[in-house]
Homo-oligomer: A and B are copies of this chain.
């Protein structure tokens, strides 16, 4: 029976998420000794700072802000962060406490709303008063692109929403989405650092992007932007979306490309002399914790990659192939084994079902593993949300396909319809965590036991 293995896979996944708890990450990165603050090993004197202002955006905003207030509460003059409109939080990942100094606003994700707009304007207002004697702490996590939305005139919020929807629907890679968004914004692509100048701005980042590229995470509000208006226009044209674009968007990008509107700040821009960024959280921290937990449970852990990308259903085949090799040949690691992967895959939506990249990967894996014994596969998102569903992901094993057929479900059909959510819901094999308050992409846990075991 693999119910026991499933419980252990969940346990290992939870250890990964716990290690990436946004509050823990902030507390580990940020140490204070009186007026001396240490950020990821670097000392910053608070004595020289007249005011400390905290700003930020992302799915982990609230928990990051709470930890910062815990550490720096007495020194914070003002603060505002924008988080995602809340899912019910899990019991394990308790709701953030009410804060005294930092206001937490909520906005919509992945398409920005009025909350995103209001939050961004208030943040711009807060930092516009900062001088070279002030210190700004900027807390950035995944989702910040949508949660911080301040369209550059003449673009309206509706127009920005519309172009975001067009790009999401086209399946454009996140890099392309961000190149466009950065050039429609008053805060993205380094423009927040520009607005903060001459104040000193220190950014703490929890990365939700493969390879942790600072200019991509939350559209890099405080780092130089290597992309241009011309590129943004060409991306839309290349996806055949230019004609569909709202008029304000076309006007802004055209004027930007002609040089009429200043570019986003580029590397070397003076505003970055006062800006520093620290990545305090990323997927690998979770993988390390998962490996430790797996070892404690008696497995031989092996981390394969923290940068897993690709079409979820195809990626599943490769992960299953490695699990099969472990099972048959005790390599690349011997049983009992725990193979660990992290990253973020994609789904090309063709059907009308309900699901997310993790659930879809688990469904494809179920088909690959069908009939095997002693292999369990888990794929789930660290933020507790897998695509537009309320589950974090799903679990499967060699019996999943047979169990489904026993219930009259055709797994291939569900895969064709991108309906992995309904599939695993019927089987009771969803991974559900509620909102975890962090966001370091996804984890895959594969447990492989020897042939016959109780």
Give the B-binding residues of A (Cβ under 8 A): 284, 302-311, 314-315, 317-319, 321-322, 324-325, 329, 331-333, 343
Give me the 9 closest cross-chain CB pairs, A-B, nearest first.
Answer: A314-B314, A310-B317, A305-B321, A305-B325, A310-B314, A318-B318, A307-B321, A311-B314, A305-B322
Q: Which residues of B contact A319 (CB under 8 A)?
A: 318
Q: Which residues of B contact A325 (CB under 8 A)?
A: 303-307
Q: Which residues of B contact A343 (CB under 8 A)?
A: 321
| Pairwise interchain contact B311-A324, C-beta atoms closer than 8 A | no
> Can you identify 18 A-B contacts, CB atoms within 8 angstroms?
A284-B329, A303-B329, A303-B332, A304-B321, A305-B325, A307-B324, A307-B325, A308-B321, A309-B317, A310-B314, A310-B315, A310-B318, A311-B311, A314-B314, A318-B318, A321-B343, A332-B332, A332-B333
| Pairwise interchain contact A321-B303, C-beta atoms closer than 8 A | no
Complex CA–CA separation, A314 to B357 (angstroms): 14
Q: Is the interface of A mostly helix, strand, loop or mixed?
A: mixed
A375 CB → nearest B CB, Å: 13
Complex CA–CA separation, A170 to B134 (angstroms): 64
B284, B308, B332: the one within 8 Å of A302 (CB)? B332
Known: A302-B331, A304-B322. 5 other contacts (CB 8 A): A305-B322, A305-B325, A310-B314, A311-B311, A318-B319
Q: Which residues of B contact A329 (CB under 8 A)?
A: 284, 303, 306
Q: Can you name the residue of chain B whose Cβ is closest to the Cβ of A316?
A: B310
A303, A321, A331: which has the most chain B beta carbons within 10 Å?
Answer: A321
A284, A303, A304: which has the most chain B beta carbons within 10 Å?
Answer: A304
A345 CB → nearest B CB, Å: 9
Complex CA–CA separation, A333 to B305 (angstroms): 11
Q: Which residues of B contact A332 (CB under 8 A)?
A: 302-304, 332-333
A180 CB → nearest B CB, Å: 18
A267 CB → nearest B CB, Å: 17
B303, B307, B331: the one within 8 Å of A303 (CB)? B331
Complex CA–CA separation, A306 to B305 (angstroms): 19
